Structure 1
């Protein structure tokens, strides 16, 4: 039998307001970039599934909090909708306050600790029209929003985070076409990243000022970076990738400053962001109490052929290239590598290089399409593949804890199948199956398995588990 997990370990799941909340324009909520983008270009969204088509937690949170308790979850991470709490960025929406307070109170009443995030890719449209994160005004707007959230819910929420995967709205919105505003400009992307780091720090400052009970963190998608070989060129590519993809937000969040190699790379390529006096001091005040770590897959890189390097750089591909590791195991539905050992390597990096700061696995999971193929005659999805995936990753979490890592929890993405941006409901991730036509929630086999794992506070192998009914 496996070793038990630490006492008071956070067992839970994660989602976000834009992907689960629903109530698109109900209760005083205004539009986000996702709402407007779908109105402008619905053809870009899978099966015409826009942000209105979510799990509808806005109307069903009373039921959902009970479902969490039913499978023994003791914690849950979601986000507040900036657009709902402050529809115009200035005016507090009393309907939103009532909704969130009741939601968070019901979570606590069910023994579920709420971990509440402030920004999960849902930029308010009124702010995007002013330039979004490219506009320095966004820093003050975000700090104001954060302070209002802390004031309104600080008595109910003791674990706060500022951003979810802040590098993603940078790379997907300013180096690609997966987030609005769909531009591809490395210089603008760097400026957005800098403003995002400043916004994070400004929110932390507001939290410290208020002196409310609780802790504040940041949720980063941290992936171990592996080089193709030990040749100098590949190791340099690894250093570049670690610096740009991992440490560009990790170092400011934990150490309060940018890594020197990042500054060197940006300076050498004429990519340094525009800064003002006081930026460095503000970044230094953004150090957190804990980290959320989203882990899905590693980053594998190799050197860029010399004759293919642009200088100054025009994309991140000028610093490293993806390496297609021939031994990789893949999730064919999502196109991501499955490498549970990476979660141990990240934990060890945090332990050895970042003062063993407390962290929890804030997202981990696998998306599978057409899961109804695996339903039994009672409608229960027999998702043995998900149980195996979670088991293997949790085994590496446990290995890291045994080696001294300061990990205090594990959250699956997600609780109930949720809407996934441009992908809609193409892939399913949840402990609970969502019936799109009715909104009904049906537990999957993995829900019954995790219930027993949590009850025993230790892993149960799939071959020792035959429930799910």
Structure 2
């Protein structure tokens, strides 16, 4: 077959997921409680259809058939996360042997199928006891995370060569401490800033531990990078987009890749009395935390404009004091998720990394399209998700162009392999290449799975 868009040799084709979203077995195998188990117990009404993380997609029991299916649909790599509360129940202390056995089996099965394991250490699922001890507001929890990272490297580092400290570390900050969509449902910017800062210290300690462990591999972080586009070239709109970029991208990208925070962000937070507490030696530690590899999660752009009105001086301090969201007329939408589809955003992210971040080695670690009630598109037993094929294809074309122009991008992972449980949304929107029947847990590849298999097989598409 002629391949118009061919990708570099050894390109990583696969998908990504997280422990809490697929494993299930929430109270089995010696696993401790996470903040999600706890929040669901106390406020089940805040979860779509009152569905919690108890069973998810039952990967804990079905990982062998799932991994074989990944192989069938062209995966040469797969990112999953370790549940801290499963490996070390309570977050500190003894390692759970049942968890070690489970993760060893998953890693070995992946390798036996020719699929490289990419492992994330933290994907939103804080052990409950550590949240009760202050969560990321506490330096003790930072130290507990470092100990957990060292344990994981020791147990699995002989076979796992791609490690990621955090997935989208800004999300627990936004969700848990600013916008009330994750536990502990706090609205307080100063505490949010402390959580963000300690997360990056924890990241740096894990990177240092990785290097001390002597693993012959790469350590990185997964960031959801969302380009901030100004409404116009008016200076007020440009300033709004620059500040949005500082808050939502550079607050994690700069320390992770450059080893320090942007001066403009520090000055802005100082001016408003919102700087986190720091300690001597933190600066050197952050410099040690520079990553080898950057995962990019991209779903939608952020469009902003200058504020229409002055912020309410009595309301909590928020990033939105400096910009308003802007809905561009004529934009292309995913109507099911309410998100704009803008494929070129991926190219813009990669060009920015090339020009301002030393062209760091990167890959697309998540990109995908969630659709509600996909059964509507069922024909001859297969979900005809042409919209997903179109979505992936559109993003791959821009990814291909970025690589042609010298960007250092090494792979593409779709969110996600199979339909999974999604935080507060449970099973509302389906993202998988493979559909999951929630009653029987039966797996059925969608039309996109066959398309993806061919793309991976041909290392490109027409």
Q: TM-score when scaled to structure 2?
A: 0.98
What residue is the counterpart of 1:123 in the other structure?
Answer: 126
CA contact (8 A) 1:269 1:313 kept: no
Q: Are 1:104 and 2:104 counterparts?
A: no
Determine helix, strand or coil for the equivalent of 1:18: helix
Matches within 5 A, 1:187-206: 187-206=190-209
User: Within 2, Cα distance between the matches of 1:151 and 1:53?
Assistant: 29
1:355 corresponding residue in structure 2: 358
Is 1:171–2:170 an aligned residue pair? no
Instruction: Establish whether residue 344 from structure 1 lines up as the match of residue 347 from structure 2.
Output: yes
Q: Is the 8 A contact 2:6 2:460 kept in 1?
A: yes
The aligned counterpart of 1:463 is none
1:459 and 1:279 map into 2 onto residues whose CA distance is 47
1:432 aligns with 2:420: no
8 Å CA contact 1:310, 1:318 repeated in 2: no
Matches of 1:208 and 1:27 in 2, distance apart? 31
Q: 2:9 aligns to what SS in structure 1?
A: coil
Aligned counterparts of 1:185 and 1:319: Cα–Cα separation in 2: 17
State the Cα distance separating 1:309 from its structure 2 match.
Answer: 6.3
CA shift, 1:23, in A, is: 1.1
Give the Cα separation in 1 of the matches to 2:162 and 2:117.
Answer: 7
Query: C-alpha displacement at 1:305, in angstroms?
Result: 3.4
What's the offset of the Cα at 1:232? Answer: 1.1
- Are the counterparts in 1 of residues 5 and 397 from structure 2 also a CA contact under 8 Å? no
**Is the CA contact (8 Å cut-off) linking 1:255 and 1:287 kept in structure 2?**
yes
Partner of 2:67: 65
Pairs within 5 Å for 1:12-411? 12-88=14-90, 89-305=92-308, 307-308=310-311, 310=313, 314-377=317-380, 379-411=381-413
CA offsets, 1:143-200, max 9 Å, x none? 0000000000001100000000000100111002210000111111111101111010
Count of aligned pairs between the two proteins: 459
Return the alpha-carbon distance in structure 2 between the equivalents of residues 308 and 268 of structure 1.
16
Contact 1:147–1:207 (CA under 8 A) maintained in structure 2: yes
Distance change (3 Å), C-alpha of 1:312 and 1:258: farther
Distance 2:439 2:316 in 1: 48
Change (3 A) 1:311 1:357: farther
What secondary structure is seen at the aligned counterpart in 1 of 2:379? Answer: coil
Cα distance in structure 2, aligned partners of 1:21 and 1:312 = 40
Partners in 1 of 2:275 and 2:12 — Cα distance? 39
> Distance between the aligned counterparts of 2:370 and 2:308, measured in 1?
34
Cα deviation digits, residues 197-251 of structure 1 (max 9, x gap): 1010011011011111110000000111110111111111111011110000000
1:465 alignment counterpart: none
Q: Is contact 2:56–2:421 with CA below 8 Å preserved after alignment?
A: yes
Counterparts of 1:61 and 1:448, CA distance in 2:
20
Counterpart Cα distance in 1 of 2:30 and 2:227: 42
Deviation per CA, 1:79-122: give whole Å up to 9, x if none. 00000100032111111111101110110110101100000000
Q: Which residue is 1:421 aligned to?
A: 423
Equivalent-residue separation in structure 1 for 2:59 and 2:265 (angstroms)? 40
> Is the contact between residue 190 and residue 272 of structure 1 (CA under 8 Å) also seen in structure 2?
yes
Instruction: Work out the CA distance in 2 between the residues paired with 1:307 and 1:206.
Output: 46
User: Residues of 1 paired with 2:95 and 2:192: CA distance?
Assistant: 31
- Alignment counterpart, residue 450 of structure 1, candidates 425, 449, 452: 452
1:412-432 C-alpha deviation (Å, 9 max, x unpaired)? 000000000110000000000
Report the alpha carbon displacement of residue 307 of structure 1 after superposing the two structures with TM: 2.9
Structure 2 CA distance for aligned equivalents of residues 105 and 380 of structure 1? 31
Q: Which residues of structure 2 form unaligned runs of 5+? A: none
* Structure 1 Cα separation of the partners of residues 309 and 261 of structure 2: 27
User: For the aligned residues, what is the CA RMSD?
Assistant: 1.1
Quickly say closer, same or farther: Cα 1:219–1:199, change in 2 above 3 A: same
**For the residues of structure 1 that align with 2:94 and 2:131, how far apart are their CA atoms?**
18
